[in-house]
Amino acid sequence: MSTSDGSKLLVWFNQAKCYFDLHEIHEISKLRDARICLMGSAQIWLQLEEKSKPFEG
């Protein structure tokens, strides 16, 4: 289900809260027009916004 350490990073996509694994957000951050959102074991497809901002807690 989760990655090695299970660390998650909260990211805003179209006002939706999505939790990504740290290695996933690194890959996703390189994408622009991609539609991908991994939440737990389910795959939810959202449009990636350029203005998506990580939440630093």
The per-residue pLDDT of the chain, averaged, comes to 51
Of 23, 20, 19, residue with least CA distance to 4: 23
**Residue in this structure with the two tokens 């990211």, named with its chain if needed:** 11
Q: Mind listing the pLDDT tens digit for each residue in 38-57?
A: 444 334 444 444 445 565 55
Which pLDDT score is estimated for 21? 58
Cβ-based neighbours of 29, under 8 Å, separated by 6 or more:
none
> Are 35 and 46 within 8 A, CB to CB?
yes
